[in-house]
Structure 1
Amino acid sequence: MWRQSRADLRKEFPMLKALTAASCACVMIELASMQSVAAENVPQELIGSWLAEDIGGGGVIDDLETVLDIHEDGTYGGMGGCNMFTGVFSLSERTITFGPTAAARTLCAPAIMEQEQKFLDTLKNEVSWKVDGRRLTLTGSNGAPVMRLVSAESASSGMAELTLRIPGAGAADRQRVRYDCGGETVEAEYINAGSVSLVTFSTGGHFIVASGVLSGSGARYAGDRYIWWTEGDEATLFDVSKGEEDPGILCERRG
Structure 2
Amino acid sequence: MLKTVVAVSCACVTIEMAAMQPVAAENVPKQLVGTWLAEDIGGGGVIDNLQSTLEIREDGTYGGMAGCNHFTGTFGLSGSKITFGPAASTRKMCVPAVMNQEQKFLEALRSELTWTIDGSKLVLGKAGGGIGVRLASMAAGSEGSDVTIRIPGADSVDRQTVRYDCGGKAIEAEYINAGPVSLVTFTIDGAFVVASNVISGSGAKYAGGQYVWWTKGEEATLFDAMKGDEDKGVACKPAS
Q: Does 1:65 align with 2:51?
A: yes
| Structure 2: distance between partners of 1:64 and 1:148 | 15
For residue 90 of structure 1, the aligned residue among 49, 70, 76 is 76
Q: Does 1:53 align with 2:50?
A: no
Computing the radius of gyration over CA atoms, which structure comes out larger, 1 or 2?
Answer: 1
The share of aligned pairs that are identical, in percent, is: 50
Q: Secondary structure at the match of 1:115?
A: helix
Q: What number of residue pairs does the alignment pair up?
A: 136
Alignment of 1:189-200 (within 5 A): none
| Structure 2: distance between partners of 1:79 and 1:91 | 22
Superposition deviation, residue 33 in structure 1? 2.1
Alignment of 1:114-129 (within 5 A): 114-129=100-115
Q: Which residue of 2 aligns with 1:38?
A: 22
| Structure 2: distance between partners of 1:155 and 1:78 | 20
RMSD (CA atoms): 1.9
Q: Which residue of 2 aligns with 1:26?
A: 11
Q: Secondary structure at the match of 2:107?
A: helix
Alignment of 1:1-255 (within 5 A): 26-30=11-15, 32-35=16-19, 37-40=21-24, 41-154=27-140, 156-158=142-144
Larger fraction in helix? 1
Gaps of 5+ in 2: 1-7, 146-240
The structure 1 segments of at least 4 consecutive aligned residues displaced by more than 4 Å after TM superposition are: 155-159
Gap change, CA 1:24 and 1:62, over 3 Å in 2: farther
Superposition deviation, residue 157 in structure 1? 4.4
Gaps of 5+ in 1: 1-22, 160-255
Gap change, CA 1:60 and 1:24, over 3 Å in 2: farther
Gap change, CA 1:143 and 1:97, over 3 Å in 2: same
TM-score (norm 2): 0.53
Given residue 112 of structure 1, which amino acid in structure 2 is its aligned partner?
V
